[in-house]
Every structure is written in C-alpha cells, then in structure tokens.
Amino acid sequence: MRFLARIQALMLCTLMLTVVVVPGLMASFLWTGGMSDEEVALLQGIEGENAWAHLEYLTSLGEKVAGTDKEMAAQQYVYDCLVDFGLDEVAMESFATSSWDHHGTTMTLVSPIIEDIPITTYGGCYSIWGMEDYEPYGFGNENGGKTLIGPVVDVGSATAAQLDEAGDLSNAIVLVLRDDGIIPWPSITIEEVALRGASAILFYGYFGRHPESDAIKQDSVSGPLPALSISRDSAERIKDLMRSETVIVQIEGSADLYSVEYAQSVNVVGYLYGATYPDQYIVFSAHADTWWEGANDDCSGVAGVLELARHFAQSRDDGFFVNERTLVFCTFGSEESGGPSEWYDWIVGSYEFVCAHQEIMNGLVIDLNLDMIGRMRTHGPYWLENTWEINDFLKDVLADSKVHATWSYPVLPYTDAWSFASIGGGSAVYGSFVEGEYAIYHTNLDDLPRASPEPMKEMMDLFALAAIRMDTVLVMPFNFMTIITWIESFLGFEALSVPSESDLFERAEAALAAFREEAMEVNAYRHDLETAFERADTYQEREAILEAALALNQALIEVRQILNRWCIGQGGQTGSEEVFLRPEQHVNDYAAIENAISALEAGSPDEAMNALRSVHTMEWGPLCSPEAYYLVMDIMSGDVSDMYWADDFNQQQAYVDVYGIYFGIADGSISDNEARTLLENIRDDKLTPWLQEDLLVLEQVWTEAAGLLSTVIA
C-alpha cells in the first residue's frame, strides 16, 4: 500500500543521516493496553488528601461570581500553588467580563403571618436596588425604593394562558414553578411577567420539580425585573397560606451589575514543557467561579487540577516521570456567567483562552476538563462527554482504569470543554457528575458535606491515565470513523426530508464517501506505523517512523480542527439546547413548513398547525404572548454575532418565525392561501439558501479533510 512505500522511503533517507540518540526515546512510545506497572505506580502518587485540602479552602471562600474579588481570591490561590509546585511557567491572563456583585437578599412573610423565607437573587438579574454600571436603579415601593412589599400571585409555570387566567398582575410578586421543559429558559419568563406589570418574580423548582425540596436554584439569566429564587419547600409554604388568605411579602436586597466595559476576570495557566514535543499540548482544565460555595461545581475540579499539577511536577523533579509533550494546567474564570451577550454568557474564560492561544489549539492533543468531580457517590456511574475522534481511546482508558462511567458525544455547549472542542477544534473530554448531581447542581446544597474525596481521586486517576497515554503515543489515537458514523446518522434522513436539494446532498455524500476512504486508509497507516516502530531494530529506522508519525499527527490535528468546527450546528428550542450536524435545524424547519404547505393545499388547516408545531421556535412560542415571543426572537434571530461564541464558525443555526402564521390559521385572520404563500416565502427565501450554504460548507469541509489525509499518506 502507498503508506508502506512512504515508510520504506523515509527509512532509506535516514540511513544517510548522522543523528543524536535521545536516551529512553524508544521506551517512551510503547504501551500495549492494560495498565502497566509504571502507570499503576505513577497513579499511586496522586494524593486525594491534597485535593481535598484545596477543596476545603476554595469552598470556604463562598460564592465566587465572575469578575468579583472572591473569584480573584480563588485564582490567586491557584496561581500561588502552581508557582510553589515549581512549574516551568505560570501566567495570570485577564479578560473582560460582565459581573454581578450580590449584597444579600431577604424575604419575610408579613401577612397573614410573620416568617422569614430563605431567598437569593438570580445571577445577572436585578435585585430590589443597586447600581448598574455605577448608575442607581430601584424596584422597591418603600424605604426609598430599597424595599418591595406586595401580594404574591401563583401563576404556575407562567405560560401565557396561565398568566391570562391569573388576571391583573400589576404590582404583584408572581410565584413561578420553573420548568425548563415547558419554557426553556427563565429569561423568557421574566420578559413575559414584566409585560404583565408585575413587580418581581419568585422562581422555585427546576424542570418542574426538584429532588431536594430545600434547594434554592441559581443560574445566570437576565431580564427587566428582579428575579429571585426560593426553595420548593418555601413555595409550598406560601401556596398553603394562599389557599385561605392573601399572602403579602417584604423583600429587601441589593446587587450591583457591571457590563464588560467595567469588569475583569482572569485565567490561570501553568506549563510543564515537553521534553520531546514542546509544541504539542495536553491540557487539564476546570473553572474557578461558582454559584454558592460550589464545592462540587467546580471547586472539586480546580482542586483536581491543582493536585495533578503538583503530582506531575513532583514526579518529573524526582526523575520518575518525563513528559514528552507539554502539560498545561488551566483554571478559568467566568464559566458560570460573564459574557457580553444577552443569550450566551457562560464559558467565557475558556473561550478567551482558546482564542488567545492558537498555538496551543494548533498543537492540542487533548483537553481533559474536570467539572463537578467531587459529588459523594452512592450509586450510579460517572458521566463523561467527549469529541468523536477519541471515542475508542477513551473506551480503552475506561476499561483499564476500572472506572464505572457512561459517556456520549459530542461535547455539549455548557462547559469549558465546548470551547476546546468546537471553537478550538480540539479533542476534549468532559468528566463530570455522578447520578443525582442535578439534585444539588447550582444550589445552596452544593457544599462540602455533600462532597467526597473518593470520586475526586477516581476522576483524577482516570484523567491522569488518559494524559500519560496521550503523552506517550506515537500517533494520535484519532479515529474519524466515529464522527463519520455520527454524520451519517443525520445526513441520510436529511436528504430524504428535503428531496428538492438532492443534487447538493449527493455532492456532500460523495465528499463524505471520499473522506471515509481516506480515514480508513489512515487507520491502517497508523496501525502499520505503530507495528513498524515496535519491530524496528535500529535508531535510523525508528527515526524514519517518527518523522512519518510527526507529519501524520499534524495532519490529524488539522483535520480534527476542520471537522469539529464546521460539522457542528447548534440550536433546538432556544439557542444552544441541542448539538447536531450543521444542516439539521434548517432541515427540521424546512420539513415542518413543507408539511404545513401540503396540508393547506389539501384543505387541512388543523394538520398544517400540527406540522408547524415542529418548527423549533414553536416548541415554546405558542406558550408565550406575542409581545414576549417577539422580544425573545429579537435576541435569538437578530445579529447572531451578538451571541458571543456561537457564531465563530456559523455554528448557531438561524431561526424562522411562523408564530403569526400559526395563530392566523388558528383564528381565521389569515386565509389558507395567504398562509401557504407566507410559508413558501420562508421556505424559499430563508430555509432553502441557508440549507444550500450548509451543504456546500460540508462538501468543502469533507473534501479538504480528505485531501489532507491523502497528502500525508501518499
């Protein structure tokens, strides 16, 4: 085969070269599966007690909101630790962020009884009073605008129908059961309630309920009203009282809000430079900012990164370990909040890091993201997410480590791993919670008593083993057949859904087939390189194979960047709910509108309305008033570049608006012929060109990827 001829040619060339032998070079590239004695010994040096001590300190700092002194205190602690560990370089890198400084919120029942209710203000939202970019604001009706007193009105999940039934909400404090399965993000509810004249909103629950009834939820949301959070127990207490009498509450509290022009956050980055390939990088990452104490999310991950940094630095200093590739230890600011966008305001620090360090992304081997690794494990597996190409590698590491975990791919856009995978185009693994984590996630219950050193040690061992093996591989263990399978799971169905674009689908499928052929060739080439290296008798032979492997590795990294950046689309109900093949959202909406057009042609308006409910924005749109719906659509469908990291590679799929058509059919204000014409215009003027562009991008991407692989093994 052609790659064997290349190996033979390289061997012949290097026989004529004078070279310097690097001691231990051959041994460093050999591992055959199953944990070796050296791996076991190296993992034993990771001290769970050290990580636990870091966790205790970081948790003691309390809530560490992006851009605040407490977040900075956590990052300064990380910086000082990495310096003490003797890393080759440690840097603190600042970036702009939005920030929110909470000075405390209290709520008291004042009628029919007097009773204090535990409460907090949602992150990024107004409290009763405070400063916004150093300008005062106030929503109170007593005490100079610093105290809000008003009746509580229960509006269920705050759908438009429920709000209509509740009647006049002027100056009311509305009680809302937060259910992201109905209204997919609280910001929508805040806009809706504000339009009804309410004074403030009390959220409770999460996805309709919460397993821990005393949990008070926190998130980064936005809106024009004070948005507050109480527990389900407190909500039930209020509702019990409301059954017989009007409930009056008094709320006090302040929060200062700062836009990106007024606030800074930091990333901390430490390096152990590689002995052989300093321009290839293995990254350990976590985030320093937290809601509440954040013992698990993500003080546990930061503690894990610190212990891994200490361990690898100490092992290297003791002569027990030599890293061939550069190890990078990162703790990011502003993961939970802090972006300049109205919609995407999280994973800010990792995004800034990836954009600032293209040299790392161009040589990235893997990012190992530790996020929520400290939850006390009573049963169930850990949860992992990873990019497609390392699926086989991760499966082997899990099997050898004996860690009980389930995983899926691709990486979703809620964690720092997304920045590395989909913005940087790298390989990433997100190591996270055990079963039951959502019971305490982003709540006051995410505290030290619910953390445990056992899961931290297991996840540190797992990621350390992955790093050790990635550090010593001859050829990057990237198998593109996994992403091809993922692509095919979408592409065939999409082609059937939009037969009018069959020519473009056929071109894309042909490009994918060519890429598949090259990917299979590369898999065989990698295997033969590894076998040839193991059997090589002379240094000249090994050096020839190393040269071939170096060229192949660079091509694999470039192909991975292309695929992970450009194959992905994201969208779904609102913004980033789902990750899918780039054309998927446009195909979904195209098919729904085409079915609606056919139903109208057949004289079946009810069937047309049913078809339109499959358009992504109509999964939540009919539950909102027109005013609230269009406010949200202005954010989601305006300039998507305002959505911060979502538009770097056009990953954010654009939305179409059929709200008015749907309700026009329902109330008869639009004739069937008018509705059909409007839908045809949306199909022809928006969805068709969007879909065509998607398919042309994919054809180009797969053709370019195939060409890169073909060149390196020619």
For 626-671, what is each residue's pLDDT tens digit?
Answer: 999 998 888 877 665 567 888 889 898 999 999 999 999 999 999 9
Percent of the chain with pLDDT over 70: 93
- Evaluate if residue 692 carries a pLDDT over 70: yes
Residue type, 309: A
The rounded mean pLDDT for the chain is 91
Confidence of residue 25 (pLDDT cuts 50, 70, 90): very low
The answer to whether residues 262 and 184 touch, using CB atoms and an 8 Å cutoff, is no
Q: Write the DSSP symbol of residue 366.
A: E
Q: At the top level of CATH, which class does the domain 101-256 belong to?
A: alpha beta
- Evaluate if residue 10 carries a pLDDT over 90: no
Angle between helices 453-472 and 37-44 (to 10 degrees): 140
What residues does each domain of the chain span?
63-98+262-472, 101-256, 481-714
Confidence of residue 9 (pLDDT cuts 50, 70, 90): very low
Maximal CA-CA distance, the chain: 95
The answer to whether residues 41 and 468 touch, using CB atoms and an 8 Å cutoff, is no
User: CB under 8 Å to 684, separation ≥6 — which residues?
Assistant: none
- Among 140, 200, 203, 194, smallest CA distance to 173 is for 200
- Evaluate if residue 314 carries a pLDDT over 60: yes
Q: What's the mean pLDDT in 537-542?
A: 90
Q: What's the mean pLDDT in 531-556?
A: 93
**Rounded-to-integer distance, Cα 597 and Cα 409, Å:** 35
pLDDT, tens digit (0-9, with 9 covering 90-100), for 151-166: 999 999 999 999 999 9
**Phi, psi of 229, deg, nearest 5:** -130, 130
- Evaluate if residue 342 carries a pLDDT over 80: no
Look at 577 and 685; give whichever has higher pLDDT.
Answer: 685
- Among 206, 234, 667, smallest CA distance to 440 is for 206
**Rounded-to-integer distance, Cα 581 and Cα 488, Å:** 9
Confidence of residue 441 (pLDDT cuts 50, 70, 90): confident
**Rounded-to-integer distance, Cα 660 and Cα 117, Å:** 42
Token pair recorded at residue 595:
């079915």
Q: What's the mean pLDDT in 444-454?
A: 91
Q: What's the mean pLDDT in 383-395?
A: 93
Confidence of residue 207 (pLDDT cuts 50, 70, 90): confident
Token pair recorded at residue 312:
């690898």
Look at 212 and 14; give whichever has higher pLDDT.
Answer: 212
Q: So what's the pLDDT on residue 340? A: 85
- Among 361, 346, 353, 345, smallest CA distance to 415 is for 346
pLDDT, tens digit (0-9, with 9 covering 90-100), for 29-83: 333 447 888 899 999 999 999 999 999 999 999 999 999 999 999 999 999 999 9
- Among 421, 433, 441, 437, smallest CA distance to 383 is for 433
Q: What's the mean pLDDT in 202-207?
A: 90
Q: So what's the pLDDT on residue 383? A: 86
- Evaluate if residue 11 carries a pLDDT over 50: no
Per the DSSP assignment, residues forming a β-bridge with 569 are: 580
Positive or negative, the Cα torsion across 204, 206, 207, 212? negative
Contacts 24+ apart (CB under 8 A), 514-520: 514/702, 514/703, 514/706, 515/480, 515/484, 515/702, 515/703, 515/705, 515/706, 515/709, 516/481, 516/484, 517/706, 518/705, 518/706, 518/709, 518/710, 518/713, 519/479, 519/480, 519/481, 519/484, 519/709, 520/481
pLDDT, tens digit (0-9, with 9 covering 90-100), for 249-307: 999 999 999 999 999 999 999 999 999 999 999 999 999 999 999 999 999 999 999 99
Q: So what's the pLDDT on residue 547? A: 94
Q: So what's the pLDDT on residue 7? A: 35
- Among 367, 384, 361, smallest CA distance to 332 is for 367
- With H, G, I as helix, E, B as strand and everything else as coil, classify residue 636: helix
Q: DSSP per residue over 524-557, as a string?
A: HHHHHHHHHHHH--SHHHHHHHHHHHHHHHHHHH
Confidence of residue 435 (pLDDT cuts 50, 70, 90): low
**Rounded-to-integer distance, Cα 213 and Cα 234, Å:** 9
Angle between helices 391-401 and 453-472 (to 10 degrees): 130
* CATH number of this structure's domain 63-98+262-472, picked from the four choices 3.40.50.1820, 3.90.1150.10, 3.40.630.10, 3.30.300.130: 3.40.630.10
Q: What's the mean pLDDT in 490-518?
A: 96
Positive or negative, the Cα torsion across 215, 218, 222, 225? positive
The answer to whether residues 409 and 396 touch, using CB atoms and an 8 Å cutoff, is no
- Residue appearing with tokens 């805040």: 190
Neighbours of 509 (CB within 10 A): 19
Same fold, 63-98+262-472 and 101-256: no
**Rounded-to-integer distance, Cα 387 and Cα 127, Å:** 40
- Evaluate if residue 548 carries a pLDDT over 80: yes
H-state helical runs in 602-687: 605-612, 626-637, 659-667, 672-682
The answer to whether residues 426 and 565 touch, using CB atoms and an 8 Å cutoff, is no
Q: What's the mean pLDDT in 430-452?
A: 84
Q: So what's the pLDDT on residue 648? A: 87
pLDDT, tens digit (0-9, with 9 covering 90-100), for 117-146: 999 999 999 999 999 999 999 999 999 999
Confidence of residue 15 (pLDDT cuts 50, 70, 90): very low
**Phi, psi of 375, deg, nearest 5:** -65, 130
Q: What is this structure's pTM?
A: 0.92
**Phi, psi of 516, deg, nearest 5:** -55, -45
- Evaluate if residue 333 carries a pLDDT over 50: yes
Q: So what's the pLDDT on residue 20? A: 29
Q: DSSP per residue over 572-596, as a string?
A: SSSSSSEEEETTHHHHHHHHHHHHH
- Evaluate if residue 14 carries a pLDDT over 60: no
Helix (H) or strand (E) holding 30: none
- Among 297, 313, 608, smallest CA distance to 431 is for 297
Q: What's the mean pLDDT in 185-190?
A: 91
Confidence of residue 18 (pLDDT cuts 50, 70, 90): very low
- Evaluate if residue 382 carries a pLDDT over 90: no
Q: So what's the pLDDT on residue 638? A: 62
Helix, strand and coil content of the chain, in percent to the nearest 5, comes to: 50, 20, 30
Token pair recorded at residue 11:
């061997």
Residue type, 50: N
- Among 306, 445, 456, smallest CA distance to 377 is for 456
**Phi, psi of 561, deg, nearest 5:** -60, -45
Angle between helices 301-317 and 69-84 (to 10 degrees): 20
pLDDT, tens digit (0-9, with 9 covering 90-100), for 632-644: 888 877 665 567 8
Q: So what's the pLDDT on residue 436? A: 67
